Chains A and B, each alone.
Chain A
Amino acid sequence: MSSFPSISALTLLPFAGGIAVLLLGRAGRSAARLTAGVFAVASLVLTLLLWRRFQPALPGMQFQEWHAWAPAFGLQYHVGLDGLSLLMLAVSSIVVLMSIAASWSNSKHGPAYLSLLLFLETGLFGTFTALNFLHWFLYWELSLIPAFFLIRIWGGSGRARAATQFFVYTMVGSITLLLAFLAIFLASGSFDFIELAQLAQTGQLAAAITQNLHWHQWDSGHITMVLFGGAFLGFAVKTPVVPFHGWLGSAYAEAAPETTMALTGALSKMGVYGFLRILLPIFPEQMWRARDVLLWLAVASIVLPAFTAWAQTDLRRMFAYSSINHLGYCILAIVAVAGSTGADASFVSAKAAALTGVMLQMFSHGITAATLFWFLALLERRSGGLLGLNDFGGLRRAMPVFSGLMGIALFASLGLPGLIGFPGEFLIFKGVFPLSWWAAALALIGLLMTAVFLLTVLQRVFSGPLRERWAGLQDLTLAERCMLAPAVALMFIVGLYPQLISGMLHGAVMQFVAQVRF
């Protein structure tokens, strides 16, 4: 294990890039975007290098770094990664690169925009690798700020309200999360995720809470439930889980589509990551106790947004709600895994399948959603700002390549076998059915509705009679095709050969399964 702080370097690389963009951006927009592109590519390359050096068979965290920060208060700088983190790093770096590429020819997105995007990437990298709550929380909050400004400054006409809503919802969730962890610190004296997970496993955390937190003579089970509630809220707002999703529709719709790529592709994963990294290991018993409520929430997050998406007339809002739906599957799987007891082999394999599915789905949704919004960005530029469902028609004839590629992305989002969306969803259902058949059955409705509205999009936008005004639309340029090609190719590759990703995840998945066995 080399002693080079790879993770810290990776995390700070985009930050340095952002500063560089600001400084070099004075020389002009092309200098700025070139710098941004270079740094984004560098981050991706570094991530892939880590991927190569990562050893999937080893349990536990790799590339760990420790630095004492404020030892008196149990604060250490502790970072590390396992398969899950690595996957998230990959998603983040790919999505941010895509977002920068999408803004390549958008003159409104100058140095300030690109640097904010890079700062966002740092926040993402930090969140996915931090293992001590305090600096994890720092990165969590720091990802909020660039996102807020990206929406606020480069958004559409309703951006002020959208940004404020985004800010307020996320802030409230963050505060409850902070308070919950402060209480845990007061009880256990530790902020470290790994340590807390171990304490929870052996039951020492519960004992510590009983001993140290005396609130009105509540019993420790109730106290821990309250703490779980606080932490849950933070992640539920971020994912989002119905009914805490109110901010998402406006935020995704008002932000520029290039921004939404990053929001939906990477930022939303922070929520699910939190479920896996924090909630599942530290509060397994609470998740089990609340399983019914959580299952209903998860099912609601799958079914309701799908219907809502179908009812929308703005393409952005449709895909926004579709996002909630896709991540709902992840939440369903996690909750189902946590909610079922039983250590026999079939359960274990079901849980493993579900969790693997979750991670694959995160990866797939990241790529797919980002690509979809990229297409929307391209469409918006050509249509002069219009993105209504019923504004178009017959685009297949005017822009065949565009329609073809976007069609692929839509089918991938649908979960067509052979494309990236299928393995994840399949594994999730495979895993959830044995664990909670009724939830899986209800979730199928969501799957159905997704198919319905995505096909509706295909039909209304691409098929049908071509309107006059769209007859002269320009198809994808060579540059755009080159930039989109890797994304689309990835959809095929991973769809046909998911072991590329899941091979790396095995160790992490088994670890999670083991942790849930309480």
Chain B
Amino acid sequence: MTGSSYLELLRLTAPEILVALTGFLVLVLDLTFLRRAALAFRFRTAIVVACIGCVLALLVLERGSAQGTLPAGMLVVNSLTQLIQMALLALAILVLLWAGGARFTTHVGEYCALILFATTAMMLLVSTQNLLVIFITIEFLSLSLYILTGFDKDSAQSAEAALKYFLFGGMSAGILLFGMSLLYGISGSIALQAIAAAVNASPGDPMLTLAMVMLLVGFGFKIAAAPFHMWAPEVYQGAPTASAALVASSSKVASFFALFLVFYLGLMPAAGSAAWGHSSAGWAPLIAILAVASMLWGNLAAIAQTSVRRVLAYSAIGHAGYMLIALVTHSPESLTALVYYVFTYALATVGAFGVLAALEEEKVDSIADFAGLGKRAPGLSFCLLIFLLSLAGIPPLAGFAGKFYVFVAALEIPDHFGLLWLVLLALVMSVVSFYYYLKILKQAYVSEPKPGAAVIRVPVATRVALWTAAALVVILGCLPDMLLNRIAAAVAGAFQ
């Protein structure tokens, strides 16, 4: 095994290091200089510093930092991973901004630092093709997220959510590790490329099937796909808004990408097919089952919810289903589609949570509380309209372009209409999802505000951030080419 210089490693991980260092900096700042300051001031400072750090990391990535691969795929930095890391950083910035109004904790430095550490973990997760590193970074991410979820010490819901998340997460991490060890046993390597070669030799190995199932369970938990989604509603509802936003957006991006890589790069020969009438054994039909379960369970359960956050949670499960279709398709086109979809989904979700964050003081949680929001906070409601309609998949918003591209990719594979059944199911479920998103908007725009409800004031920074996010959703929907071409080029470059 040739050694690589540490300098190489540092060069390649410069953005991650930057973010981690920012995290430490925030921690130190808050624990030393800002001990006596007012809570609001501490939050503002911490966030500003954190944002600066993220922006710097973004700039480093943008200016085309080093690309390269470490042996055994431990670190792979190419244009695709850089693109995803940039998205993760952007999402992190937004999440930090939403955290600005939070008053539920006095541990400001820890909170922001944890957000940054989670981001670091995610950035590392997307730039590796090595099983062990994947596991480590997933655990790193998960631990940060568990703590972030339970950060509101005064709320029983938060504690319950964190505990549930931790228990489920721990269990699924164990299963994931077991699956990974099985894969090592089959292939004798922890690098995805090498595993692929070994799987190619013996694709029908029952051990392999077991490994695949376990991997799916582990990852399924991370992406909140049914039936491993139990934690999601509690976490989305109980966690503080910024934490929930992080869970809902960035961690989805990173986890999906990692999942795709593992199966596409590592287990391709054992893919099988989920085509209607021509299915063959492999992980594709398994993922198809997950996709169907997620779409059905997520969308149908969302109809009955009365809490907006739980609606978002179940809709997240549904969206995981749509994204899994891209995985069932397993082609470079579908990876492009998946990345685009998850970007736009994360953007819309983080926006929706931003609206919720702005309403945090009003103790708005149930759908009924949204009554008359259109009159009380017209700008906020309009942003909410954009985000929810994007999630529903209404053109010309970004969510539609994402869905469209996933469906096109699913049907463009050579045997053409094998996956038509999945696409049709997805379309039907989209109709269902439209209903519950519209319910929320109906409350906001059609219903009258409760008597005595006052106009809501939204701080400027939040407003600017929300409008920017909304504008981005609209632009990405009207001109999807900009991002799509970039992603496609990156994918082509990564997998040639």
Direct contact between A and B judged by beta carbons closer than 8 A: no
Measured CB to CB, the residues of B under 8 A from A are none
